[in-house]
Every structure is written in structure tokens, then in C-alpha cells.
């Protein structure tokens, strides 16, 4: 997997638009199962092809100059899926680490895992830690993998950490601010996503980055995730570049 380590571009590489580029793009990679079902294939084949689409996205993000991409790889609710499918997804994670980790490391990609870890089985935990440890000092594209992740759980854990510090006298209740709570989130130190892309035609967040998405731009497309490619990515980036972000203010054009 070839990823361009020079990721400091300021405009989209999608042809001639010259549009401003989001610093952080998050993906809800939806539609693997439906992609497979529509072709008379097992759902596992959809997940396999979805991994190929992810590889394309990572390469393209590095090429055009995005700083951070976050992928919703496995939610805390996904454990309720059929056991065989969950087992396949865990195997796919293992193969991704074994096949792609060294190439990502060589391309200067830094991997960060977000999500609950306390109840993960040791083998999976070891894989995640290996990916983070190997790439910790890399300075290129940051790949944030939301695994066993749920935004409500993340916020709850952050609130509990803050409450513990208040109870132990580290600071007073009135000292609690948005910034202080943000420092306890799994994403501490990362910029909030500028753009959140969801495939498959669904239009919801599904418990993904609820706190961080307060001022994100959203892009929904009907493509199923295995069909999402560089052209589709550029289309989303161009759409973002054409938008005016006001963060709750008003545009000067309205006066």
C-alpha cells in the first residue's frame, strides 16, 4: 500500500477545483453486506471487498494531503451480529495488520485506536497495541481506527474520568469545561472531523463521534462501501470545498 508521506497540501487533488481540503475526514463504511447480497455472495465477501475499498481510501488520503482519517471499523454494537460474521471480521482485522501494517509504517502513517479496551480478548488487544506501538513516532497521515467504539460509551467514560478527578480534588466542579472533557475523550489531541462521509444511502451517525461532530460537514452517498473509490472520494472533497462553514455564525453575504 503506497501512501504519500507529504500530506501538507492545502487544496484538493481532485482535478481543477482548487477547493479547500478538510484536515480530518471520518468514514462510516456502510453497505458491505448489502453489496454482497445484491451479487448473491456471502456477507463475508462484502467485508473482504470493503477492506479493498479502505486501502484505496487510505492511499488517496495520503496522496491529496489529508492529515487525519478516522474509520468506523467495528462498533460496540457489532458484537451482536452472528457469531460467524464477527469471527470473520476479527480474522479480517488480523490479516489487515499482518498484511498492511509494515507498508503503512514505511509510508509514515501513524495508527491510533479509539474505543473501549477493557473487555477485548488478549489476542485482539495485542494486535491493536502492536499497530500503535510500531507507528507511534510516524509523522504522516494519521489513521484513527474506531474499534469496539460507541460515542455514548466514550462520553460516559470521559465523564466518569472527570468526575473522579473532581471527587479527588484535582479541580472543582465549576472548573469543568468543554476543553477539559475533550481531553478525556479517546480522540484527545486530534482535530474534530471537518467532514464525515457515510456510504449506502443511510443518513445517520449511528453512535459515531457524537461530541466531535458538533460542527462537522456531512456527506451522504448512495454507493455501497465496496464501490467507494478515489473518484467518489474526490467528489465528496469537492462538495466539502464548495461549502461555507460558519460554526453557528452568519455569512457576510447575508448583510
Buried b (16+ CB within 10 A) or exposed e, 164-202: eeeeeeeeeeeeeeeeebbebbbbeebebbbbbbbbbee
Catalytic residue selected from 78, 153, 192, 229 = 78
Q: What's the helix, strand, coil split of the chain in %, to 5? A: 45, 15, 40
Beta bridge mates, 36: none
Q: Is 4 a catalytic residue?
A: no
Q: Residue 224 contacts by C-beta under 8 Å, 6 or more apart in sequence?
A: 30, 31, 32, 34, 35, 38, 199, 200
Give the separation between CA 27 and CA 140, rounded to whole angstroms. 19
Q: Is 222 a catalytic residue?
A: no
Q: Residue 77 contacts by C-beta under 8 Å, 6 or more apart in sequence?
A: 150, 207
Catalytic residue selected from 30, 100, 186, 194 = 30
Question: Which residues belong to the active site?
Answer: 30, 78
Amino acid at each position: 500500500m503506497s501512501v504519500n508521506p507529504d500530506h501538507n497540501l492545502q487544496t484538493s487533488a481532485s482535478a481543477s477545483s482548487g477547493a479547500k481540503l478538510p484536515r480530518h475526514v471520518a468514514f462510516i463504511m456502510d453497505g458491505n453486506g448489502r453489496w454482497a447480497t445484491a451479487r448473491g455472495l456471502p456477507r463475508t465477501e462484502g467485508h473482504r471487498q470493503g477492506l479493498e475499498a479502505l486501502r484505496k481510501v487510505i492511499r488517496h488520503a495520503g496522496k491529496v494531503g489529508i492529515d487525519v482519517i478516522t474509520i468506523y471499523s467495528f462498533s460496540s454494537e457489532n458484537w451482536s451480529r452472528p457469531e460467524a460474521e464477527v469471527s470473520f471480521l476479527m480474522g479480517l482485522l488480523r490479516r489487515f495488520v499482518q498484511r498492511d501494517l509494515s507498508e503503512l509504517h514505511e509510508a509514515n502513517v501513524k495508527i491510533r485506536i479509539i474505543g473501549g479496551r477493557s473487555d477485548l480478548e488478549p489476542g485482539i488487544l495485542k494486535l491493536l497495541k502492536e499497530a500503535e506501538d510500531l507507528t507511534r513516532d510516524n509523522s504522516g497521515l494519521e489513521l484513527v481506527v474506531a474499534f469496539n467504539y460507541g460515542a455514548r460509551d466514550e462520553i460516559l467514560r470521559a465523564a466518569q474520568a472527570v468526575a473522579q478527578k473532581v471527587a479527588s480534588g484535582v479541580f472543582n466542579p465549576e472548573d469543568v469545561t468543554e476543553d477539559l472533557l475533550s481531553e478525556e475523550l479517546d480522540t484527545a489531541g486530534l482535530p474534530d472531523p471537518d467532514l464525515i462521509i457515510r456510504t449506502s444511502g443511510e443518513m445517520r451517525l449511528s453512535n459515531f463521534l457524537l461530541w466531535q461532530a458538533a460542527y462537522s460537514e456531512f456527506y451522504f452517498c448512495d454507493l455501497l462501501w465496496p464501490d467507494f473509490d478515489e473518484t467518489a472520494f474526490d467528489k465528496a472533497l469537492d462538495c466539502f470545498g464548495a461549502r461555507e462553514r460558519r460554526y453557528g455564525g452568519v455569512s457576510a453575504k447575508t448583510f
